[in-house]
Amino acid sequence: MSRSRVVIVGAGFGGLACARALAGKPVDVLLLDRHNYHLFTPLLYQVASSLLNPSDIAYPIRAVFRRAANVRVRVAEVLGADFEERVVVTRKGKGEPGDGGNAAAAGHRIPYDYLVLASGSTNNFFGIRPVEEHALPLKDLPDAMALRNHVLTCFEAASRVSDEVARQSWLTFVLVGAGPTGVELAGAFSELIRLVLVKDFPELDMGKVRIVLVEGRDEVLPAFPRPLGADARLRLQRRNIEVRLSARVTDLSGDTITLSDGERITAKTLVWAAGVKPGDLAQTLALPATRSGRVQVDACLRVTGQERVFAIGDIAAVPYQGGEMPMLSAPAIQEGRYVARSILSLERAKPVEPFRYRDKGIMATIGRHAAVAQLGRLRFTGFVGWAMWLLVHLYFIIGFRNRIVVLVEWAWDYFRYDRPIRLIERARGLSSIV
């Protein structure tokens, strides 16, 4: 009897956890992703702020499964599926017979016995068109590199212009969304500028730099317990980061950003960290979705109406506390492991228990000696929270070498106030001048 084949779509936190849990087990696994790397997204903001290299947080997927003979990896994009035939269809590449056409019929047909959908989420611009066109998001590696290049370019441009108004617009950074991404990025930019770039640009008055953090709700880190959000806000303000609560960006025209309270800010930089939404896989595969766009699943994470198709992570509407599971890495990882166990149980014709999420906590850092964390019933702030943040993140980085490298980069920055990765790296074909 041939072994069952599990096809996993997406090598983010959920898909990777699922494939790892199936490594060495009596099934064949094919892991598909659009990239050849798994991305440790919680540290993306450190790539954007010149602290880490892309290779510190991006890990080649094939390297993860070198010793797992039953797990194969393929760089591919899913175009469709035939659930009757149990086949997923991926796009053909350049130079392959039958490429070019987007029709699912023209792609590679990959059979499965179990299908795990873990394709994740994408930026949510809430339909504000000028923001979608001109704001800088921070969701994947190209975003982080584009943001790093942009911020460094702003200082080069500011050092060249003689007009005061123009210079101020290059030195004003508006960040939208005070969730962990927005808060951590604001803190990281502040340190990059105050501690590192200040030595590079003696010709600039760094007192003129403005970092404005805009949040629609009435506190920063709204997903955190209220006292932790208040602590984070104080620490941000102590770093001269301007916090605008209960405010939204309503328009962007040229360099002028308009907030819902009527305030106008002239800035060359608008970073969008205001939220994510599920990718369009539910639509592509014509699967039942909730109002949020996430795939409907039952208590065992099976897609509604499908016996052998699971959905996990940001793409799945997993019921939780009367609503849907938050789009975070922790539930995605637990769901991935759970589905792996479920598949192995089904293979052995054993019963499957419903999925239960174990909330282990939440944390965010503002900078040196400053972080907030809720772990179980315990809350930490300041230096202790910061030390815990460092330990937890080092622990979750994949690979011994990357842990060491990241530790060295952090130590170098901590003791030397220096970030040598502040390169404006332009991709070939783009203009070489600001």
Q: Which amino acid, residue 78?
A: V
Q: Pick from 24, 85, 96, 280: which binds its own copies (CB under 8 A)? A: 96
Under the criterion CB under 8 A, does residue 112 sit at the interface with its own copies? no
Nearer to its own copies, 91 or 341 (CB): 91
Q: Does 54 bind its own copies (CB under 8 A)?
A: yes
Distance, in Å, from the CA atom of 215 to the CA atom of 190, rounded to the nearest integer, reads 18
Q: What is the DSSP string of 8-72?
A: EE--SHHHHHHHHHHTTSSSEEEEEESSSEEE-GGGHHHHHTTSS-HHHHEEEHHHHTTT-TTEE
By CB under 8 A, name the one of 24, 26, 142, 288 that touches its own copies. Answer: 142
d(CA 328, CA 331): 6
For 30, the token pair is 């094919």
Q: How far is the CB of 82 from its own copies (least distance, A)?
A: 20
In sequence order, the 6+-apart residues with CB closer than 8 A to the CB of 87 are: 81, 109, 110, 111, 112
In the list 37, 40, 83, 355, the residue contacting its own copies (rule: CB under 8 A) is 37
Q: By C-beta, is 47 or 366 nearer to its own copies?
A: 47
Whether 184 sits among the annotated catalytic residues: the reply is: yes
Instruction: Report the distance separating Cα 406 and Cα 47, nearest Å.
Output: 11
CA-based nearest residue to 186, from 128, 232, 255: 232
The distance of closest approach from Cβ of residue 408 to its own copies in the complex, given in angstroms and rounded to an integer, is 8
Q: Which stretch binds its own copies (CB under 8 A): 32-40, 171-179, 241-249, 309-317?
A: 32-40
Q: Is 170 in the site for its own copies (CB under 8 A)?
A: yes
Which of the stretches 35-43, 180-188, 322-330, 335-343 binds its own copies when contact is defined by CB under 8 A?
Answer: 35-43
Q: Active site residue: 77, 84, 184, 219, which one? A: 184
Per rule CB under 8 A, count of chain residues that contact its own copies: 69
Q: Is 341 helix (H, G, I), strand (E, B) or coil?
A: helix
The Cα 243–Cα 239 span in angstroms is: 11
Q: Is 321 left (phi over 0), alpha (psi -120 to 50) or beta?
A: left
Backbone angles phi, psi at 281, to 5 degrees: -65, -35
Q: Is 238 in the site for its own copies (CB under 8 A)?
A: no
The correct pick among 75, 234, 245, 328 for binding its own copies (CB under 8 A) is 75
Q: Which of 82, 113, 242, 255 binds its own copies (CB under 8 A)?
A: 255
Task: Tell me which residues in 184-213 interact with its own copies (CB under 8 A).
Answer: 199-203
- Euclidean distance between CA atoms 153 and 144, whole angstroms: 14
Minimum CB distance to its own copies smaller for 244 or for 268: 268
Q: Using the Cα atoms of residue 428, residue 430, residue 432 and residue 434 in order, give the sign of their dihedral.
A: negative
Residues within the interface to its own copies (CB under 8 A): 34-37, 53-55, 58-60, 62-63, 66, 69, 72, 74-77, 91, 93-97, 108, 141-143, 145-146, 152, 156-157, 159-161, 163, 166, 169-170, 199-203, 255, 268, 399, 401-402, 405, 408, 412, 418, 420-430, 432-434
The catalytic residue positions are: 184
